Every structure is written in C-alpha cells, then in structure tokens.
Amino acid sequence: MPAITIRGQMGSGATDIGRQVARLIQGDYVDRQVIAEVADLLKRPEAQIEAKEQIPPQLLQRIVEPLRKALARSGSIDSAYLRTWAGTFG
C-alpha cells in the first residue's frame, strides 16, 4: 500500500492535500491515528512519540548548542576548545 508523509502548519491545507494525494495514488490517508497507535503499542505518551517525529535541528543549531552550553558552564567559549588544542600544539 503506498503511503506519503505530509507536514504543514495549522491552516496550511496540508490535511486536504494529504487526502487528495492519497486518493490519487489509491492509498490510505492516515493522520494522528498513527501516533496514537504507536504510543499505545509502546505504552508511551503521545507527546513523546510526537517529539521523536519532529524534524531534527538544522546543522547550525547543532553546532551552536554545545557552544552555548560551554559558555554557560565556563563563562568562555574558548575554554571549551583551548583544552583540546593546548595539548596538541603545546
């Protein structure tokens, strides 16, 4: 059975588009029922399943987040990297 994934903000028409595409490809349209069924199967809250389904952060976010944490811990981004470099070139 063919399946598609479609995501859109509320009011974007994604639900209607998903239904139309499912009809055109002679597939089933499934929505939040999949999340509910997976949550039930895994005995987890739906919010936890939804969190795993979210789009992963962009590359820049994945780079900036550790730097932000290092700054919060030490007061300096440099300290997070100088320890590594000091032993290499020292």
Residue 76: per-residue pLDDT: 63
Could you tell me which residue, 46 or 58, shows the higher pLDDT?
Answer: 46
Could you tell me which residue, 81 or 39, shows the higher pLDDT?
Answer: 39
The set of long-range contacts for 54-60, using a CB threshold of 8 Å and a minimum separation of 24, is 55/7
pTM, full prediction = 0.42
Q: How far is CA 23 from the centre of its chain?
A: 28
Domain ranges of the chain: 14-53, 59-89
Weakest mean pLDDT among 21-25, 46-50, 66-70, 82-86: 82-86
pLDDT digits (tens, 9 = 90+) for 66-82: 878 877 777 665 655 55
How distant, in Å, are the alpha carbons of 33, 55, 86 from that of 69?
37, 22, 21
Residue 22: per-residue pLDDT: 87
